[in-house]
Structure 1
């Protein structure tokens, strides 16, 4: 693929995952603290559940969770009931991906949770979703290779597409390292002693609107250098195959429709950090950087 064509395609992907304009959104607040964003039509609909949500106009427009819901368990139960009702009405496409998996809702990631909610429903309230992505790589002489996974054809989202060696969302009650070790073991059968050598490499964050959902996502990124003797194997069935590719091939792949979009962003970040993409030769270098580390 020509350099210019690659750059244009990757920039298009980066901007597609950073298309959220908050001007058309209302803050979603719990106990006076903004924890998410809601599209105005969604806020209007949710506020019909007046015992759970209130649409405030003064001093500024916002959707609030009612103050009479004092405890995290009460809030979790109340929102779950609303979302289950909406799911039954098939109003929002995102609720068709119901997982029976809870994500915590917090001000900052390090804060105690204010409540937990179904993973598929999180985009309706524009609450940040956190995950862990592992760049598995090794060196052969002067050349670097990366392990790439192909997702199972039975996955409900992005079936058959290229993915990381291991990755997953941080479910309610889990921490970053706990999730990393779990995903490495379950998806690629990486022993805990080896997975624990992964090095934290910052975060990749992005925010986009799709259908009636707002997707604000932050991925904790880890680099895991693996020995030549290690071969990942399929664990829980979420992956169907693993490939060991040179970075040039991985670089080409992220510009295609074959790579899971958010994984492509994390790989792009890896390629830039490792000097495989240089600021003197990549015309969109600063655009890539700006959009890989945007605010949530």
Structure 2
């Protein structure tokens, strides 16, 4: 596959109006996410939490849920009920971790269980870190690439970024990054903190399938905060929490081969391509260069963390 095709596998939701989906909105009408008809069918039973308008194709949080706490409690109850009833496979990956959904001012509108967020198509946030050993030139750098554990519920055995993790509430981005380095790669905060550099974000709308009869047709808007970790030759990351099978140190050329062979999880392929663009390894001569950049930094139509 070409690099553009790889990136499009991650930013895979169509551009333009998503007429087959309902819009999930705040009580005053602010769009918060996209909903599949499968999810809306269940939401029509939740009349104490949302109102469904089939003509406008909207699902709106009731105005009576007029505080962050009330909204959070309502969606905790809803998630617990759906999980107990085994309505959706995604809920088998329950994390007991809350993600924040924001309003237009960038403040928290309510909190939602991480496993439930995919069903509501709300924006989620992660931190992705590329650990690399520099060389004489950017093309001489080597990248630490982990293989996901074979028992992972999603993308088992695929290649990943050196360290990655979702940003749960109320953790900060930096706190999450340092914590994940310890949990996933066995790297101490005293090693990570002076070497870790924040380098930007990528954003995309991911959809695994366009078959609306399939639960995987949910649309997932994601913002990933990207960080670089410059490492020395002597430091070797090691699996620490069971989520990683192994780490290998690959040349840039080998990493590009593995990306094109489809060995990477889609969003981590995109983030690795972003790293190689920022380091000057991939340049303007790359076919589809502008489209690659656009698909890596998609404007999301929902309120975001400020």
RMSD, aligned α-carbons = 2.0
**Partner of residue 6, structure 2:** 13
**Partner of residue 267, structure 1:** 272
Deviation digits for residues 144-191 of structure 1 (CA, Å, limit 9, x no counterpart): 111111112222211222111111000121111111011011111222
Deviation digits for residues 48-88 of structure 1 (CA, Å, limit 9, x no counterpart): 21100112478x54211111112222212211222232233
- For structure 2, the residue ranges without an aligned partner over 5 or more in a row are 209-215, 301-306
TM-score by length of 1: 0.89
Q: How many angstroms apart in 2 are the aligned matches of 1:138 and 1:205? A: 26
Moved over 3 A (4+): 88-91
Q: Choose the corresponding residue for 2:187, options 186, 190, 196.
A: 190
> How much does 1:141 deviate?
2.8
**Mapping 1:129-278, distance limit 5 Å:** 129-142=124-137, 143-196=140-193, 197-210=195-208, 211-278=216-283
2:21/2:57 contact within 8 Å kept: no
1:136/1:147 contact within 8 Å kept: yes
Match of 2:261, SS?
coil
Match of 1:23, SS?
coil
Q: Choose the corresponding residue for 1:80, options 71, 76, 80.
A: 76
Match of 2:269, SS?
helix
Worse-matched range after superposition: 119-128 or 135-144: 135-144
Number of aligned residue pairs: give it.
Answer: 286
> How much does 1:26 deviate?
2.8
Cα 1:153–1:57 shift into 2, 3 Å: closer
**Partner of residue 3, structure 1:** none
Higher relative contact order (CA 8 A, sep 6+): 2
> How much does 1:41 deviate?
4.6
Structure 2 residue 285 is matched with structure 1 residue 290? no
